[in-house]
Amino acid sequence: MNQYLQLCQRIINEGHWIENERTQKRCLTVINADLEYNVGANEFPLITTRKSFYKAAIAEFLGYIRGYDNAADFRKLGAKTWDANANENTAWLANPHRKGEDDMGRVYGVQGRNWAKPDGGSIDQLKKIVDNLSRGIDDRGEILSFYNPGEFHMGCLRPCMHTHTFSLLGDTLYLTSYQRSCDVPLGLNFNQVQVFFFLAIIAQITGLKAGKAYHKIVNAHIYEDQLELMRDVQLKREPFPSPQLIINPDIKSLEDLETWVTVDDFSVENYQCHDPIAYPFSV
């Protein structure tokens, strides 16, 4: 929790005001942040200085694992997070590749599970990783990349947290996740949960021990209309100790994640938090 608060404070102390053309808003911005989560010790990095809706964050990531490309499928899992980008961004609404209401296009999980090969067919990056790790193999290229510049024009948004690398030391699994752009009040609140969740769940289904997750962020920003709430409300609050994430032990395979798992298979223990804060969202 302290590393999150330190990053927020650093943006306020040292940030530069940068115009953003896509959203037509200014962002207070710093470059480079390194966050670390101890998944093995189950120190769940859930924000405590406001109420955090971790189930929606897990639902969103479960949608990526399943390769979903439609905001309605995310809603069914419990995440409304793609409604605005799929249906309210004027550039995407006018894009000939958009297949209709709720379509997100070839983003995130589509690339992760169904990367189109130039010579036909497709690559399932996640299945290869899970198969290797289950056999104790780390070929130093256990990389899940959502970043496909050749298909940016076919999706509603370029992926923000775009690359996840798994590494094995003995029977302990590590994850390094790389994020190019980070909405610290809203997005990071979810992304911290997702990086932790991803290592915890892949360790569980591959029979490995979870070690640490390393979360590397390039452009970390606060939108101009979020600044007052962050500076004068959230940062004035005292954090509580980290809660623990509890995962249904019956989840044993990638197929389980693809078929029957829901957000009800996850819960949190000892979560003490302050009141919610409704931050403005920029489409």
Ligand X SMILES: O=c1ccn([C@H]2C[C@H](O)[C@@H](COP(=O)(O)O)O2)c(=O)[nH]1
Site for ligand MHF (CB under 6 A): how many residues?
Answer: 13
Which residue in the set 157, 193, 201, 208 belongs to the binding site for ligand X (CB under 6 A)?
Answer: 157
What are residue 21's DSSP bridge partners?
A: none
Could you tell me the smallest distance in angstroms from the CB atom of residue 49 to ligand MHF?
Answer: 12
Which residue in the set 165, 181, 192, 226 belongs to the binding site for ligand X (CB under 6 A)?
Answer: 181
CB 282 within 8 A of CB 223: yes
Task: Note whether 58 binds ligand X by CB under 6 A.
Answer: no
In Å, how far are 26, 38, 74, 85, 159 from 156, measured between CA atoms? 21, 33, 15, 6, 9
Task: Note whether 49 binds ligand MHF by CB under 6 A.
Answer: no
For residues 241 and 98, what is the distance between their CA atoms, to the nearest angstrom?
44
Q: Is 106 exposed, middle or buried (0-12, 13-18, 19+ CB in 10 A)?
A: buried
User: Pick from ligand MHF, ligand X, none: which does 281 bind, CB < 5 to 8 A by kind?
Assistant: ligand MHF
Could you tell me the smallest distance in angstroms from the CB atom of residue 52 to ligand X?
Answer: 14
Q: Is the dihedral of CA 88, 186, 63, 148 positive or negative?
A: positive
Q: Is 35 exposed, middle or buried (0-12, 13-18, 19+ CB in 10 A)?
A: buried
Q: Find the part of the chain contacting ligand MHF (CB under 6 A) among 10-18, 78-86, 144-152, 195-203.
A: 78-86
66 assigned to a ligand binding site: no
**160 is an active site residue:** yes
183 assigned to a ligand binding site: yes
- Footprint of ligand MHF on residues 155-174 (CB under 6 A)? 157
- Footprint of ligand MHF on residues 243-282 (CB under 6 A)? 281-282
Amino acid sitting at position 42: N
Could you tell me the smallest distance in angstroms from the CB atom of residue 146 to ligand X?
Answer: 10
Task: Note whether 53 binds ligand MHF by CB under 6 A.
Answer: yes
Q: Which residue number places its CB atom closest to ligand X?
A: 187
DSSP assignment string, 122-187:
EE-HHHHHHHHHHTT---S--EEE---GGGGGGBSS--SEEEEEEEEETTEEEEEEEEEEEETTTH
Task: Phi first, then psi: give them for residue 146, nearest 5 degrees.
Answer: -95, 0
For residues 260 and 201, what is the distance between their CA atoms, to the nearest angstrom?
15
Which residue in the set 46, 77, 160, 257 belongs to the binding site for ligand X (CB under 6 A)?
Answer: 160
Task: Note whether 210 binds ligand X by CB under 6 A.
Answer: no
Q: Which residues are catalytic?
A: 160
**Residues of this chain that bind ligand X (CB under 6 A):** 22, 157-158, 160-161, 181-183, 187, 191
Which residues are known binding-site members? 22, 180-183, 191, 221-223, 282
